[in-house]
Structure 1
């Protein structure tokens, strides 16, 4: 675990809100020079506190108006490897996240679709035909009140 001081924590909060901020702008904000800020950011990246910077797309604005969370229980444990299932499900473009979980289901997926008929097509033709796919439970997202933020 990397040791963090107050400036490191402030940098992480600022970058979590907007990862496009320059080291120069961040330095001015926190009373550091641009090189000192850049060194801190590099140390945070190398230490694993920052594992990348992502662009967050608005699925609805891009025509994907339905988000569904799927719980999937593998039908034939032992006959299909987890890696084979994960590789196959990850290749489906509508599947945004694949989480291997403990509980009633083996996997939890976040799937986007244009509308419910499009989701049904993705479910029937792509997800249910995956190696080992068994029982499925779908939960349609009605609203998202809290967006992911810093830890």
Structure 2
């Protein structure tokens, strides 16, 4: 499928870079920044959206201001890694709002979760009541983030 996508030129990549930094930028300002006029920029943005390069637009919320300063990364090992078990875990993990990210890993464990809560007490509750009870969880290891140095969208 990747071969069916239109090739990106330097204007397309510049447009994508600018939109990634500010999804609310006006087309006129976007055109000025990438060195085109407004009409071609509008057409390119529409083509990039239709081709799936732009998956959508959203507001980036500040988790600290929302009282969600505690970040933990959790290694999860499953008791069963057959396809049905993996799919069951995947479905269940999508229903836990405190899990910001979930990645299947090739290595010494099966999944890596990014969990965001208000504090360590909240995390302990989420771990005991939500994560540990997910289907097929055999064991977990938690790593608490002491400082976020870089996070996409938040500087």
> What value does the CA root-mean-square deviation take over the aligned residues?
1.8
| 2:134 corresponds to | 130
CA distance in 2, matches of 1:19, 1:4: 19
Which of 10, 25, 29 is equivalent to 2:14? 10
Q: Structure 2: where are the runs of 5+ without partners?
A: none
CA distance in 2, matches of 1:85, 1:130: 6
Given the superposition, is the C-alpha separation of residues 80 and 134 from structure 1 closer, same or farther in structure 2, using an over 3 Å criterion?
A: farther
Which segment drifts farther, 75-84 or 32-41? 75-84
1:136 is paired with a residue whose SS is strand
| 1:22 corresponds to | 26
**In the TM superposition, what is the alpha-carbon distance from 1:79 to its structure 2 partner?**
9.0
| 2:53 corresponds to | 49
Given the superposition, is the C-alpha separation of residues 128 and 33 from structure 1 closer, same or farther in structure 2, using an over 3 Å criterion?
A: same
1:99 and 2:92 equivalent? Answer: no
| 2:80 corresponds to | 76
**In the TM superposition, what is the alpha-carbon distance from 1:35 to its structure 2 partner?**
2.3
**In the TM superposition, what is the alpha-carbon distance from 1:31 to its structure 2 partner?**
3.5
**In the TM superposition, what is the alpha-carbon distance from 1:49 to its structure 2 partner?**
2.1
Q: Structure 1: where are the runs of 5+ without partners?
A: none
CA distance in 2, matches of 1:72, 1:30: 44
| 1:34 corresponds to | 38
Which segment drifts farther, 68-77 or 115-124? 68-77
2:48 is paired with a residue whose SS is helix
Which segment drifts farther, 46-55 or 118-127? 46-55
CA distance in 2, matches of 1:6, 1:109: 35
In the superposition, the TM-score normalised over structure 2's length comes to 0.87
> 1:80·1:132 contact (CA, 8 Å) conserved in 2?
no
Given the superposition, is the C-alpha separation of residues 125 and 12 from structure 1 closer, same or farther in structure 2, using an over 3 Å criterion?
A: same
Number of aligned positions between the proteins: 149
